[in-house]
Amino acid sequence: MPILGIDQEKCIKCKLCIKECIRRFVEDEERDIIIFKDPTGTCILCGHCIAVCPTDAILYENFGDEPYTFNSIEKLENIISYDAAYKFLRAHRSIRHYKKDKVPEELLRKVVKVMQYAPTGGNIRAEKYAILSDPEKIHTLSEGIMEELLKHSTFRVRYEESLSIRKKLYKDPVFFDAPHVIFVHSSSDTFIEGIHIGIIVTYGRLAAESLGLGTCWNGWSLMAFQTNKKLLKLAGIRGKGWGATTIGYPDISYKRCPPRRQKKIKGLD
Domain count, the chain: 2
Query: Looking at the domain assignment, is residue 108 inside a domain?
Result: yes
pLDDT tens-digit series, residues 123-157: 999 999 999 999 999 999 999 999 999 999 999 99
Note the pLDDT of residue 63.
87
Residue that terminates a domain, selected from 21, 44, 60: 60
Pair 133, 200 in one domain: yes
Note the pLDDT of residue 111.
98
Pair 39, 121 in one domain: no
Pair 20, 139 in one domain: no
Note the pLDDT of residue 1.
60
Query: Looking at the domain assignment, is residue 224 inside a domain?
Result: yes
Query: Looking at the domain assignment, is residue 30 inside a domain?
Result: yes
Pair 213, 114 in one domain: yes
* 172, 142 Cβ separation under 8 angstroms: yes
Pair 53, 118 in one domain: no
CB contact burial 237-266 (16+ within 10 A = b; e otherwise) = bebebbbbbbbbbbeeeeeeeeeeeeeeee
Spell out the SS3 assignment of the chain: CCEEEECCCCCCCCCHHHHHCCCCEEEECCCCEEEECCCCCCCCCCCHHHHHCCCCCEEECCCCCCCCCCCCCCCHHHCCCHHHHHHHHHHCCCCCCECCCCCCHHHHHHHHHHHCCCCCHHHCCCEEEEEECCHHHHHHHHHHHHHHHHHCHHHHHHHHHHHHHHCCCCCCHHHCCCCEEEEEEECCCCHHHHHHHHHHHHHHHHHHHHCCCEEEECHHHHHHHHHCCHHHHHHCCCCCEEEEEEEECECCCCCCCCCCCCCCCCCCC
Pair 23, 128 in one domain: no
Note the pLDDT of residue 269.
76
Between the alpha carbon of residue 85 and those of residues 5, 80, 82, 215, the distances in Å are 38, 6, 5, 18
Query: Looking at the domain assignment, is residue 200 inside a domain?
Result: yes
Pair 236, 116 in one domain: yes
Residue 22 belongs to domain spanning: 3-60
Mean pLDDT of the chain: 95
Domain with residue 222: its CATH number is 3.40.109.10
pLDDT tens-digit series, residues 179-193: 999 999 999 989 899
pLDDT tens-digit series, residues 12-70: 999 999 999 999 999 999 999 999 999 988 999 999 999 999 999 999 998 888 999 99
Pair 168, 227 in one domain: yes
User: For the chain, how big is the Rg over CA atoms in Å?
Assistant: 23
Pair 55, 97 in one domain: no
Query: Looking at the domain assignment, is residue 97 inside a domain?
Result: yes
pLDDT tens-digit series, residues 199-229: 999 999 999 999 999 999 999 999 999 999 9
Domain with residue 29: its CATH number is 3.30.70.20
Query: Looking at the domain assignment, is residue 211 inside a domain?
Result: yes
